[in-house]
Structure 1
Amino acid sequence: MKKLINDPDHVVDEMLDGIAAAHADVIRRLPGWNVLVRKDAPMIGKVGLVSGGGSGHEPAHAGFIGENMLDAAVAGEVFTSPAPDQILEAIKAVDSGNGVLLIVKNYSGDVMNFDMAAEMAAAEGIDTEQVVIKDDIAVENEEDRRGVAGTVLVHKIVGTAVEEGLNLQEAAELAHQVSGSMKSMGVSLQPSTVPASGKPGFSLAEDEIELGTGIHGEPGMERKKLKPADAITEELLEKVMAELEVSSGDEAAVLVNGQGATPLMELYIMYRKAEEILTEKNISVKKAMVGEYMTSLEMAGCSFTLLKLDSTLNKYLP
């Protein structure tokens, strides 16, 4: 597949330079590191928030740096975990003496490297806490569930809360609450191609879809024939609602996330049906987010995330 790149070996470095240049009023790049940092970090009196992971999921995570969001994002190579020393530099750059919360998607490399970075930070006298996001219900074993687009809701809610003064332990507890109150599931219509390999991650016939694919092109739980958007929305949302155990009278936030090559037109068609289903079940949508938040390069498809709200989450969800 054609790509607007120069050298596949330099895509991440050049991307980070481009992001820093385009948004120089908000963020800066740490010289020599694959780390983007909020321009005014560290902020005195505030817990630092750091997230990250492999590149290829833009705007995640660098696109969520700023007020009421992240203080830093660490970028690995495409679909590859960032190294511990890169993560440590991000931690050091945002710590004001109040500690740093690490928001980590549940992939073995990410978890291992963020753990190592936390140990290195402790050796330098920096307190950290971690939350590992496991919102993808396509994986049956809950402990093995992948972190996907719901991670962005943790950024938003905890980011707002720490701006309002939550300490490190309180921020970690809130992050765990958000993580435990949401579920996600996706569907793919076509794969993505990693620049270095030049080959699609998997193959689908023109009339096929894959339910439950991961954000790195991991296989899903089931391959089916293509259906109309309403039928796909109903199937995904029913699975998510069953896992989350929402019921009549509940309040929720809904995130419809594009995987990289799906027009907004189609995402809004999906959201339209989702809100119709939720309204019929007397579930009130208090926050709707539709767009590309965590992509998979140029994969076509989308995911649904449902977050069950209570008074605390409502307070901090902008």
Structure 2
Amino acid sequence: MSQAKKIMNDPENLVDETLDGLVAISNGLLAREPGSRVVRSTKIEQGKVGLLVGGGSGHEPMYGAFVGPGLANASVSGDIFAAPAPQHVQEAIEAADAGAGVLIVYGNYAGDVMNFDMGAETAEEDSDIESKTVLVRDDVATDDYEGRRGIGGAFYVVKAAGAACAKGMSLEEAAEVTERVQYNTRTIGVAVRAGILPDTGKRTFELGDDEMEIGLGMHGEVGVERSKMMTADEVAKKMVDMVADDLPYESGDRVAVYINNLGATTQMELLIVYRKVAELLAERGLKVERTDIGAHFTSQDMAGFSLTLLKLTDEIAELIDAPCESVPFTQG
């Protein structure tokens, strides 16, 4: 097997140099203090609830780059696939605060929950900043809803949370509507090749040349099914069934669809998959009102994708379609 290749400098500086690059490419939209794991918007609107997002590095652009008007006031990043430290979470909460409290959104992983909770408690004690948390837990590979992991559906949850805050909702209102969006979001992922960790050069899991895995986590956690390679149409059918049956989504429901590139999948493959997904959703009587395809929540150079369905209401559609500005995603 050939040696893993990554275009980088010292592995010890991976996160810092990534954040430096993010700030540099933002053309003044973002700022960061030297050595800090916190990136903040330079266009924070005072008097409104501030959104904070965060998680481990290695999933770029999620969560760290989704900062700017209509999205987060600040983000905090941990090491590769590791939760941010509590003191960095506290710093990020203080950076995100605009005088009306802070809504915190991140994936439902044990380390993140522990460290974000600790940072939020300290920020309230030291700086009197109230916060509320919404956990992204959209992965249908886990039966227990409360224990589900946060994966590609974070794209819609973060988008809605940012719009709710920008709209001037109270902290309680913003948390409640973001939780409704989260509950209406369902995702499943598939991979045909594992990603390579840049700091170790090792793959996050092993797959045979003729194998694929359905339901794996963003860090290579074991999925629900490992099988021989299937055609694009066969994979799409299996994934649509798993996601659409989970809520469940019913004929007549309005939905947004997100196809998320996990890192190394071609646009050709994603379009071939979506063509079948659209056909299958139409057969179920689901009305697709919005479709997004992109690489917004990656796992390094993992080859595969995730499929997200978001059940829309008028309220949720308005939040998803609201204007926003950030390095990886801008609309309106």
TM-score w.r.t. structure 1 length?
Answer: 0.97
- 1:148–1:294: 8 Å Cα contact kept in structure 2? yes
How do residues 95-174 of structure 1 correspond to structure 2 at under 5 angstroms?
Answer: 95-123=97-125, 124-174=127-177
Matched residue, 1:14: 17
User: Matched residues in 2 for 1:247 and 1:73: separation?
Assistant: 36
2:316 is paired with a residue whose SS is helix
1:64 is paired with a residue whose SS is coil
- 1:193–1:298: 8 Å Cα contact kept in structure 2? yes
- 2:194–2:220: 8 Å Cα contact kept in structure 1? yes
Post-superposition Cα deviations, 1:14-69, rounded to whole Å, max 9, x if no partner, equal 1111111111321111333111111123x212110001100010111122111211
Matched residue, 1:76: 78
Aligned-pair Cα RMSD in Å: 1.0
User: Matched residues in 1 for 2:144 and 2:190: separation?
Assistant: 19
Count residues in correspondence. 317
2:245 is paired with a residue whose SS is helix
Give the gaps of 5 or more residues in structure 1: none
Matched letter for residue 82 of structure 2:
T
Residue among 77, 86, 89 paired with 1:87: 89
**1:264 and 2:257 aligned:** no
Matched residue, 1:64: 66
Structure 1 window deviating more from structure 2 (83-92 vs 22-31): it is 22-31
Q: CA deviation at 1:306?
A: 0.6
How do residues 127-276 of structure 1 correspond to structure 2 at under 5 angstroms?
Answer: 127-276=130-279
Q: CA deviation at 1:155?
A: 1.2
2:233 is paired with a residue whose SS is helix
Post-superposition Cα deviations, 1:167-220, rounded to whole Å, max 9, x if no partner, equal 100000011101111111000000011122211111111110001110011111
In the TM superposition, structure 1's runs of 4+ consecutive aligned residues that sit over 4 Å from their partners are: none
User: Matched residues in 1 for 2:269 and 2:32: separation?
Assistant: 35
Identity fraction in percent = 43
2:318 is paired with a residue whose SS is helix
TM-score w.r.t. structure 2 length?
Answer: 0.93
Matched letter for residue 24 of structure 1:
N
User: Matched residues in 1 for 2:123 and 2:99: separation?
Assistant: 12
User: Matched residues in 2 for 1:99 and 1:226: separation?
Assistant: 48
1:63 is paired with a residue whose SS is coil
User: Matched residues in 2 for 1:31 and 1:93: separation?
Assistant: 14
- 1:30–1:37: 8 Å Cα contact kept in structure 2? no
Q: CA deviation at 1:223?
A: 0.4
Matched letter for residue 124 of structure 2:
A
Residue among 273, 295, 304 paired with 2:298: 295
Matched letter for residue 203 of structure 2:
P
User: Matched residues in 2 for 1:98 and 1:137: separation?
Assistant: 34
Post-superposition Cα deviations, 1:91-123, rounded to whole Å, max 9, x if no partner, equal 111212100000021000000011011101111
Give the gaps of 5 or more residues in structure 2: 322-332
1:244 is paired with a residue whose SS is coil
Structure 1 window deviating more from structure 2 (227-236 vs 154-163): it is 154-163
2:47 is paired with a residue whose SS is coil
- 2:16–2:35: 8 Å Cα contact kept in structure 1? no
2:56 is paired with a residue whose SS is strand
User: Matched residues in 1 for 2:218 and 2:48: separation?
Assistant: 31
